[in-house]
Amino acid sequence: DAGITQSPRYKITETGRQVTLMCHQTWSHSYMFWYRQDLGHGLRLIYYSAAADITDKGEVPDGYVVSRSKTENFPLTLESATRSQTSVYFCASSATGELFFGEGSRLTVL
């Protein structure tokens, strides 16, 4: 099906482990984004990408790494997970107007 999909939907990991959240879109949108949602903070932008091989920091990039070797994929990696990175992560894509969001990945870091 066309759209934007995230995997895994749920993940439990331990402090210090590396975790990668995947995001795939089928619209060939240029822009892709990663947000995290936390109570009291709303949706905060982690990283975004304007095209393949072009990425930039958002509001809360520390502790995260992204790559975009293909237009359709935008993985988010936590190189050494911390408890403060427990959150719900949303990927989104856009041409130049509205964002289309995935269903989210709930990550728990123990």
Partner 1 sequence: DQQVKQNSPSLSVQEGRISILNCDYTNSMFDYFLWYKKYPAEGPTFLISISSIKDKNEDGRFTVFLNKSAKHLSLHIVPSQPGDSAVYFCAARGTSGTYKYIFGTGTRLKVLA
Is there binding between residue 102 and partner 1 (CB under 8 A)? Answer: yes
Q: Least distance to partner 1 from the beta carbon of 22, Å?
A: 15
Among 7, 27, 58, 73, binds partner 1 (CB under 8 A): 58
In DSSP terms, 55 is beta-bridged to 49
C-beta of 16: minimal distance to partner 1 in Å?
28
CB 48 within 8 A of CB 36: no
Print the binding letters for residues 68-97 with partner 1: x by CB under 8 A, - otherwise.
Answer: ----------------------x-x-x-xx
Nearer to partner 1, 45 or 80 (CB): 45
Residues 71, 29: Cα–Cα separation, whole Å = 7
SS3 8: coil
Residues 6+ apart with CB under 8 A from 95: 27, 29, 30, 31
**Two tokens, residue 66:** 């992204």
Interacting residue ranges for partner 1, rule: CB under 8 A? 31, 33, 35, 40-45, 48, 50, 54, 56, 58-59, 90, 92, 94, 96-104
